[in-house]
Amino acid sequence: MFAQLSAFWRDEDGATAIEYGLIAGLIAVVIIAGLTALGGGLNGLFTRINNALINVGTPASSTPPANGSGG
């Protein structure tokens, strides 16, 4: 019985798994905090890019040619 208890006490596999889980959780928290901080700025940037691309496709004038041939 003492040998089994001693072996259980020395076994570090579970502790290592918990440590990796804590590290993964900490990395996730840092990523979420970073994305939250950058979210507003990125939203504004993509909105400006979207508006610029929409304006590129808008024709400058919609009046037909003067001679009426249409092209």
Farthest-apart Cα atoms in the chain, separation:
105
Q: Is the pTM of this model over 0.85?
A: no
Would you write out the chain's pLDDT as a tens digit for each of its 71 residues? Answer: 888 878 777 777 778 888 999 999 999 999 999 988 888 888 889 999 999 998 887 666 666 666 756 55
Residue 50 pLDDT: 93
Q: How many CA atoms does the CB half-sphere of 34 hold within 13 Å?
A: 6
Residue 69 pLDDT: 61
* 42 contacts 48 by C-beta, under 8 angstroms: no
Residue type, 46: F
Residue 21 pLDDT: 93
* 64 contacts 70 by C-beta, under 8 angstroms: yes
* 43 contacts 37 by C-beta, under 8 angstroms: no
